[in-house]
Amino acid sequence: MAKKASEPKSAPKAKSIPRSRKELIQAIEAQRKSKVLTYVLSDRRNASAQVAEDAVRPMYDHLLSFGKQSKIDLFLFSIGGHLEVPWRIISTLREFSSELAVLLPYKAMSAATLISLGADEIVMGRKGELGPIDPQLTIQRGGGETAAQDTMSVEDVMSYLRFVKERAGLTDQQAIGDVPGCLDR
């Protein structure tokens, strides 16, 4: 006698899944009893964005619309940016809340790591990661239409200084500062 195939059981009722970004943010706010501000920057090749000064004013405007909150969560994704900006962002956020958390679903590198370190709480997803803080100097060479920008890490500058002092024997500050100009000729 062949066994009779069992009737498929009805699927268990799943919780309602939020469909829009707005609904997702509202769900996070309800679960964490906070107000969520998002700062998500692209890391796409040829379309990347950085933590920069131009974000401070729009953030401030959003915070004004929120008003004073007991808890703010900053939902953050960035591969980094200008290192002078995190202090302004954190200071601005703290004007509007006594408790500040940063939610990191994925990357928070360099300047975004500094923003994270300014929070009271860092909440990381399974793929969340903080990165090294790698300050860089941007040097503009030439002028007009032929101007070029070079980026140099602070570690490179420190290595250069150590080299000219230890290997080249230069100790005079003026001479140390003049060497890069001689190399460009």
Same domain, 102 and 148: no
3-state SS string for 23-54: HHHHHHHHHHCCEEEEEECCCCCCCCCCECHH
Same domain, 123 and 104: yes
Q: Are β-strands 107-108 and 121-124 bridged in parallel, bridged antiparallel, or unpaired?
A: unpaired
Same domain, 126 and 178: no
Residue 8, SS3 per DSSP: coil
Range 11-48 burial, b when 16+ CB lie within 10 A, else e: eeeeeeeeeeeeeebeebeeeeebbbbebebebeeeee
Same domain, 106 and 72: yes
Same domain, 141 and 110: no
pLDDT at 5: 46
Instruction: Return the closest-CA partner of residue 100 out of 73, 125, 64.
Output: 73
Model confidence band, residue 7 (pLDDT cutoffs 50, 70, 90) = very low
> 115, 130, 145: which is the final residue of a domain?
130
Q: How far is CA 160 from CA 67, 75, 138, 157, 164, in A?
A: 49, 38, 16, 5, 6
Same domain, 106 and 179: no
Assign residue 126 the CATH number of its domain. Answer: 3.90.226.10
pLDDT tens, position by position, 110-165: 999 999 999 999 999 999 999 988 777 666 677 667 666 677 777 777 787 788 78
Cβ burial of 179 (10 Å; 0-12, 13-18, 19+) is middle
pLDDT tens, position by position, 28-68: 999 999 999 999 998 888 888 999 999 999 999 999 999 99
Model confidence band, residue 12 (pLDDT cutoffs 50, 70, 90) = low
**Separation CA 82–CA 56 (nearest Å):** 12
**What mean pLDDT is reported for the chain?**
84
Q: Is the pLDDT of residue 93 over 50?
A: yes
More confident residue, 124 or 177: 124
Which domain range does residue 125 map to? 21-130
Same domain, 62 and 144: no
Q: How many domains does the chain have?
A: 2
Same domain, 121 and 165: no
